[in-house]
Homo-oligomer: A and B are copies of this chain.
């Protein structure tokens, strides 16, 4: 699992939309790129993917923008990461020896471990923590 800038931006955008999901008006791209440091046309690209995935709705025309189309308590960081689609390691040739196969299974195990972490984190959790000013760190 690779966390690219694209995935990071996508999550930031989703979080912004979630924060403002009670607003009557949709959120314009401009408002997001201003707050965070995201290149405008790049975010357009990312929103296209999010819309295809069904996580956001777009409103065209003047006063248009984007709205989140799912409950922030029902979507996880893993959902977003997979929607954006990071490359799942190009290392997918058929294993040709037992050693090869064993190694592969360990790489899979490691990838699964990080996916399991991300699958536990809902957008709502992050928003809650943000509102409490609780930026706890998890290093090793």
Contacts and interface: CB of A to CB of B under 8 A. Distances in A.
A35 interface: yes
A1 interface: yes
A44 interface: no
| Count of this chain's copies in the oligomeric assembly | 2
Interface of A: 1-5, 8, 11-12, 15-16, 35-37, 77, 89-91, 93, 96-103, 105-118, 121, 126, 129-130, 133, 135-140
26 contacts: A1-B110, A3-B91, A3-B110, A4-B91, A5-B90, A11-B103, A12-B100, A36-B99, A36-B100, A98-B130, A98-B133, A99-B130, A101-B135, A102-B129, A102-B135, A105-B136, A106-B126, A109-B117, A110-B114, A110-B115, A110-B118, A111-B114, A112-B138, A113-B114, A113-B116, A114-B114
Contacts of A91: 3-5, 8
